[in-house]
Structure 1
Amino acid sequence: MQDRFTERQLQQFQEDGYVVVRGMVGESIWQRILQVAIDDLGREVQPIEYEAELNYPGAPSAMTDTGGRTARRLKAALSRNAIFMEWIVSRGVRGRLEQLLDPPVVMPLSHHNCLMTKQPRFSSDTGWHQDVRYWSFSQPDLVSLWLALGPEYRRNGCLRVIPGSHRGSYQPEQFDSEQFLIPDLEANTKLIDNAVDVELDPGDVLFFHARLFHAATRNFTEEPKFSAVFTFRSFNNSPLPQTRSSSLPELLLTAPEPPKN
């Protein structure tokens, strides 16, 4: 397996805002990560974000309702098990990120850094949004990677994306108060008509730009879905002071160049 993107993959990322590397992660690694997710969910190891806390369509209305303690994401993934650091610093991850971002590469721990799950019956729909809607950096050019820990397809809530939307400019009136696209506006309908499903097999990795519009339905199957998601920035793309983006430490993924004499 190559440790870097091909020229064609790089071109796709620049044009579409995303690229999928099939079979990037071996079964021995993704199975270990999946087991951490299953074990920590079963023991309800905090911190956890619950569906009822967000009030998205399909979620329970309150924590006290039936299904109210349905997890949406297990936060602080990097601190849950050494396997995450082992994978994040692997050559295949670092090499590709250095092609997309100006090295050295930094991993903010305040965004993503989580195990996503969609549980049967009480998972929710996520509207069309860009992750930068609630991130605060000097530039919007961050990259997230999404590792599938099982099959992902439309019926169990796979990610849907709008290719090329990371390059567009948008008006405030296209968004609701939560910064989701208003789906029945004509300008937004034209955008959403171009959406594609990002179907993944376990071990596949999706790299996507923080300005790429994406969404997902709830899980309509009887089996839970798990994914690991992390975000990265260039060293010179600093978080803005006194924002959520600067609220936690960060991991320097690749060393800066030594100073010249």
Structure 2
Amino acid sequence: MKLSQEQIDEFNSNGFLLIRNFASSELCDEILQKAKYHLENIIEPIESEQEYLRIEDKNNITVRRLRQVYDREEVFKQWMTNKEIRPILKQLLNDTPVLTLAHHNSIMTKMPKDSSRTTWHQDRRYWNYENDNLLSVWLSLDDEYLENGLLEFIPGSHKIKFEKEQFDETISFKDNIPQNKQLIKQAVHFNLHKGDIVLFHCKTLHHANKNNTSKPKISFVYTVKAKETKPIKGSRSEFKEVILD
């Protein structure tokens, strides 16, 4: 599959692109089944809600994300190396895509009652590369909407040069200062369904509210970079990679 020029222009302008019904229902169900097993058994490595919120409570663990999923299950690896998406990634990166297993490479959750809000941020905040030619692939394994923690994006934010003062000490985009509030008002969202994917640039501002429903929301996200985008030596970004020729 290849993108039209209109779709490429949309991604370059907005910093994100929605593609409906990309993954089959059968694949999503298989991924979801395996993910639930790892979640229910709290199979490491994970990030917990308690860790994310900096709460010391080893007796009460709510998994926020399963980390390093590429090496967990064959079906996870198959999705991350899907041949149908490679031409799309190559078009958007203008280079051979490479899986960056240091970042994302995750099953993301929003659990009922115990989930937290994901603050406005750029994924690039914790990554260490020589340039910003990276994007993420978000796969919806079931319905996603505002009430259960749907992603929202700020169009064009990947092209804005921000000041350091617009971010807090955790490198989250402050939502309580006037200049940021004006930008956040431009946020957009679109409900996702099983098999939909969203591609978004590593500098596109996005966030998600907590899950206010009674059902878990589980999604799959991984990141790719251009082959010519090199990790900074000695940083956490210098990790195992998979070239998607």
TM (normalized to structure 2)? 0.97
Q: Indicate the residue corresponding to 1:238 in structure 2.
A: 230
Q: Indicate the residue corresponding to 2:43 in structure 1.
A: 45
2:243 counterpart (227, 231, 252): 252
After the TM superposition, which segments of 4 or more aligned residues of structure 1 sit over 4 Å from their partners? Answer: none
1:118: how far off?
A: 0.8
Q: d(CA) in 1 for partners of 2:150 and 2:83?
A: 27
Q: Report if the CA contact (8 A) 2:49-2:115 is conserved.
A: yes
Q: Indicate the residue corresponding to 1:94 in structure 2.
A: 86
Q: Report if the CA contact (8 A) 2:70-2:80 is conserved.
A: no
Q: d(CA) in 1 for partners of 2:172 and 2:190?
A: 20
Residue 18 (structure 2) pairs with residue 20 (structure 1): yes
SS for the counterpart of 1:127 is: strand
2:112 counterpart (120, 135, 139): 120
Residue 151 (structure 2) pairs with residue 159 (structure 1): yes
Spell out, residue by residue over 1:209-231, the C-alpha distance to the aligned partner (whole angstroms, 9 max, x if none).
00000011110000000000000
Q: Indicate the residue corresponding to 2:204 in structure 1.
A: 212
Amino acid in structure 2 at the alignment position of 1:29? L
SS for the counterpart of 1:19 is: strand
1:221 counterpart (213, 222, 226): 213
1:90: how far off?
A: 2.5
Q: Indicate the residue corresponding to 2:57 in structure 1.
A: 63
Q: d(CA) in 2 for partners of 1:225 and 1:112?
A: 17
Q: d(CA) in 1 for partners of 2:56 and 2:2?
A: 45
Percentage of identical aligned residues = 36
Spell out, residue by residue over 1:5-28, the C-alpha distance to the aligned partner (whole angstroms, 9 max, x if none).
122211110100000100000111
SS for the counterpart of 2:222 is: strand
Q: d(CA) in 1 for partners of 2:58 and 2:65?
A: 18
Q: Indicate the residue corresponding to 1:107 in structure 2.
A: 99
Higher gyration radius (CA):
1
1:5 counterpart (3, 7, 15): 3
1:146: how far off?
A: 0.2
1:87: how far off?
A: 2.2
Spell out, residue by residue over 1:187-230, the C-alpha distance to the aligned partner (whole angstroms, 9 max, x if none).
10111000012320010000000000001111000000000000
Spell out, residue by residue over 1:20-39, the C-alpha distance to the aligned partner (whole angstroms, 9 max, x if none).
10000011111111111111
Q: Report if the CA contact (8 A) 1:141-1:211 is conserved.
A: no
Q: d(CA) in 2 for partners of 1:29 and 1:63?
A: 35
Amino acid in structure 1 at the alignment position of 2:51? E
Q: d(CA) in 2 for partners of 1:36 and 1:100?
A: 30
SS for the counterpart of 2:56 is: coil
Q: d(CA) in 1 for partners of 2:31 and 2:150?
A: 19
SS for the counterpart of 1:8 is: helix
Residue 197 (structure 2) pairs with residue 199 (structure 1): no
Spell out, residue by residue over 1:56-93, the C-alpha distance to the aligned partner (whole angstroms, 9 max, x if none).
7xxxx33246xx30000001111111112222332321
Q: Indicate the residue corresponding to 2:125 in structure 1.
A: 133
Amino acid in structure 2 at the alignment position of 1:16? N
Structure 1 unaligned runs (5+)? 255-261
Structure 2 unaligned runs (5+)? none
Which segment is superposed worse, 165-174 or 76-85?
76-85
Amino acid in structure 1 at the alignment position of 2:200? F
TM (normalized to structure 1)? 0.91
